[in-house]
Amino acid sequence: MAPSPAAAMPLAAEPDDPEVEVEVVVVEERGVKGGGGVAGLDEVEGLVVGSYCHDVLLRGGRAVGETLGGAAAFVSNVLDAASPAGASLAVVSKVGHDFAYATAAAPARHPPVLCASPTTSFHARFSDDAASAHAPDRQLRRVHACDPIYPADLPDRRFAYGLAVGVAGEVLPETLERMIRLCRAVLVDAQALIRAFDGEAKGGGAVRHVALEATPYARLLPRVAFLKASSEEAPYVGVETARRRCCVIVTEGRDGCRLYWDGGEARVAPFPAVQVDPTGAGDSFLAGFASGLLWGLSATDAALLGNFFGAAAVSQVGVPTFDPKMLQAVKQILEKAVKRPCTHINGNTFTFQRSNIHDELHKSLQEAAMLVCEQKQANSPATDNGDICSINELTSLPS
């Protein structure tokens, strides 16, 4: 998998920023010491910033499920499961005293900060006719909003990479800027930047989108490595402008995803899934993608891992539990595929183009994806992932 110089892009560090220069040296030293994990990682730490939340799923006017939500929960779930040995994670998340999932796997591993305000909560109203893969599959209302995450809430140390994954406007522009200073490479979910909330009248504020260019986040884009948006969010991101500043990934539901960088683009094929709940697909995609970069894959190859975990996420309600056999199979595939003992997050540049192992990697992961489908068929609908109530109408959520 030789890096392609034509498609290489420098990391988003400001050359005159002394803080960032120090970080480059420290992380590269860690990376080349090697010998730790399969991809040669030795203590590569990631930073995930975004709050856990409560999700209430509604259909036909009534609640059909209540689950742990928040991109940080889905993202840390995938990164903990799929990263190579030697990679660790710090999660900065805020919840209120009413938080119902402190003992669920992700928050138990990465405890949130407790605030006086209530836990962020969303009502997701599913329509009966989400026919197109690109149609909005649900209407979201933010019912409660926990405190924002301030720059001072971030740990005062350096990270190999960071994921800005707010759901309710909690990642402030100054917090993203601090992340950029602390992390060698930052990956951002557009939903953290472009969500606005209509009047918080009774019943909460409907989630809508604003143009990224009109937000204070826009000026930070040249220092972001990857920006992920769903096809619904893409028009607000302005892909043609944004791709000149960073690599933009647009997820297209069951159709997979597309990557756009300055000078090229690629389509990455999806994996089969039995969809029961689309919530968290984008979050799981982004984390799968980041773990692909950690394994040393090019961006287009890493997007395969994004599609893989996006598909796995829609197969379960709430934060998914992965079959250990499936995870073992995925890691074996990656160990076999990745020969070079380095990670692109630790290198000086990212490469974007598909490598010559892309198709083979897709085929092998497809076999592992079948394990997810088999697991789904073997399990009864209720999953043990911290649901408040079990949901019997799972298959009636739109597919």
Ligand X SMILES: Nc1ncnc2c1ncn2[C@@H]1O[C@H](COP(=O)(O)OP(=O)(O)OP(=O)(O)O)[C@@H](O)[C@H]1O
* Cα 160 off chain centre by: 16
| Selected binder of ligand INS within 233, 277, 283, 323 (CB under 6 A) | 283
Q: Rounded to whole angstroms, how far apart are CA atoms 345 and 337?
A: 18
Q: Count of CB atoms within 10 A of residue 216's CB? A: 12
Q: Binding partner of residue 140 among ligand INS, ligand X, none, CB under 5 to 8 Å per kind?
A: ligand INS
- Rounded least distance, CB 20 to ligand X, Å: 30
* Cα 254 off chain centre by: 17
For residue 74, the one-letter residue type is F
Q: Which residues pair with 139 in a beta bridge?
A: 125
Q: Which of residues 136-155 bind ligand INS (CB under 6 A)?
A: 140
Q: Does 280 bind ligand INS (CB under 6 A)?
A: yes
Catalytic residue, chosen from 55, 80, 189, 283, is: 283
Q: Rounded to whole angstroms, how far apart are CA atoms 385 and 55?
A: 13
**Ramachandran assignment for 296, one of left (phi > 0), alpha (psi -120 to 50 degrees), beta (any other):** left
Number of residues that bind ligand INS (CB under 6 A): 14
| Selected binder of ligand INS within 37, 70, 270, 386 (CB under 6 A) | 70
Q: Rounded to whole angstroms, how far apart are CA atoms 82 and 328?
A: 9
Instruction: Using the minimum distance from each CB to ligand X, give the nearer residue, 93 or 251.
Output: 251
Contact 170, 148 (CB under 8 A): yes
Q: Does 71 bind ligand INS (CB under 6 A)?
A: yes
Q: What is the dihedral of CA 102, 114, 207, 223, to 10 degrees?
A: -100
Q: Does 170 bind ligand INS (CB under 6 A)?
A: no
Q: What residue ranges bind ligand X (CB under 6 A)? A: 230, 251-254, 256-257, 270-271, 273, 275, 278-283, 285, 307, 310-311, 314
| Selected binder of ligand INS within 7, 13, 30, 55 (CB under 6 A) | 55
Place of tokens 């595929």: 337
Backbone angles phi, psi at 321, to 5 degrees: -100, 125
User: Is 283 a known active-site residue?
Assistant: yes
Instruction: Using the minimum distance from each CB to ligand X, give the nearer residue, 23 or 66.
Output: 66
Instruction: Using the minimum distance from each CB to ligand X, give the nearer residue, 87 or 313.
Output: 313
Q: Binding partner of residue 45 among ligand X, ligand INS, none, CB under 5 to 8 Å per kind?
A: none
List, by residue number, the catalytic residues: 283
Footprint of ligand INS on this chain (CB under 6 A)? 53, 55, 69-71, 74, 122, 140, 167, 191, 279-280, 282-283
